[in-house]
Copies of this chain bind each other. A is one copy, B any other.
């Protein structure tokens, strides 16, 4: 890996027409060579979690030219990703630091509390939603998307459960209703005990709900009794596990 502190300007072309970064003090990370993945990141030194310009993994440093000495050193670097048609030119006007360090030991990241774990904990604890639910599957594929948790209730109805680790939006509620429209077409469910003439139920599970979501669901429930919502937090699921 290579770290460059400098004053530079950039010009990107590729996925959008262009992105021009005006001259400023930046920090550049370049993961070139056999050591790295080919990505390059250009950060403003002052602000921004996201880079101002970047090139994705698989890019190549195709041009590197320098002139001048020490702090008056100026340079041009061109990074390209041919198959994606992307190109980034970096015009360096003042160089402060150009350091290399090998990547010997790679990091491994272990996360606790993400959405897939929320869904997994809930799928192991379906009584929290309703008595007698049996897990049929997770990430169940339909023509209109994947149902987070699919379960069977004691009456033989399919129950689609949509989980959100954070706030559920009205779009999530609509998506759940789409699943309810789609599930009756899935013939494989009868083999799992689902009675086809019974329409499926839907539950939107989240720790909080955006404006209007619960109201919309309650209206739907009054009209068809097929969709409902349930407030459940990650901590709640963790507590029940013990």
Known: A3-B27, A25-B105, A49-B54. A16 touches B113 (CB 8 A): yes
Q: Are A20 and B103 in contact (CB under 8 A)?
A: no
A223 adjacent to chain B (CB < 8 Å): no
Q: Are B5 and A212 in contact (CB under 8 A)?
A: no
Q: Which residues of B contact A37 (CB under 8 A)?
A: 46-48
* Bound Cα distance from A41 to B29, whole angstroms: 12
Of the candidates B3, B7, B108, B143, the one whose C-beta lies within 8 Å of that of A97 is B3
Q: Are B25 and A36 in contact (CB under 8 A)?
A: no
Q: Which residues of B contact A188 (CB under 8 A)?
A: none
Q: Are A56 and B46 in contact (CB under 8 A)?
A: no
Q: Which residues of B contact A85 (CB under 8 A)?
A: none
Question: How many copies of this chain does one complex carry?
Answer: 2
Nearest B residue to A43 by beta-carbon distance? B29
A102 adjacent to chain B (CB < 8 Å): yes
Known: A99-B5, A112-B19, A171-B175. A105 touches B24 (CB 8 A): yes
1/0 per position for A112-131, CB-CB distance to B under 8 A? 11100000000000000000
A21 adjacent to chain B (CB < 8 Å): yes
A190 adjacent to chain B (CB < 8 Å): no
* Bound Cα distance from A111 to B21, whole angstroms: 9
Of the candidates B51, B99, B102, the one whose C-beta lies within 8 Å of that of A99 is B99
Nearest B residue to A55 by beta-carbon distance? B49
Q: Which residues of B contact A9 (CB under 8 A)?
A: 107
* Bound Cα distance from A107 to B52, whole angstroms: 8
Nearest B residue to A100 by beta-carbon distance? B5
A153 adjacent to chain B (CB < 8 Å): no
Q: Are B44 and A107 in contact (CB under 8 A)?
A: yes
A198 adjacent to chain B (CB < 8 Å): no
Q: Are B3 and A5 in contact (CB under 8 A)?
A: yes
Q: Which residues of B contact A212 (CB under 8 A)?
A: 143
* Bound Cα distance from A238 to B29, whole angstroms: 34
A155 adjacent to chain B (CB < 8 Å): no
Q: Which residues of B contact A52 (CB under 8 A)?
A: 107, 109
Q: Are B44 and A48 in contact (CB under 8 A)?
A: no
Q: Are B43 and A27 in contact (CB under 8 A)?
A: no
A70 adjacent to chain B (CB < 8 Å): no
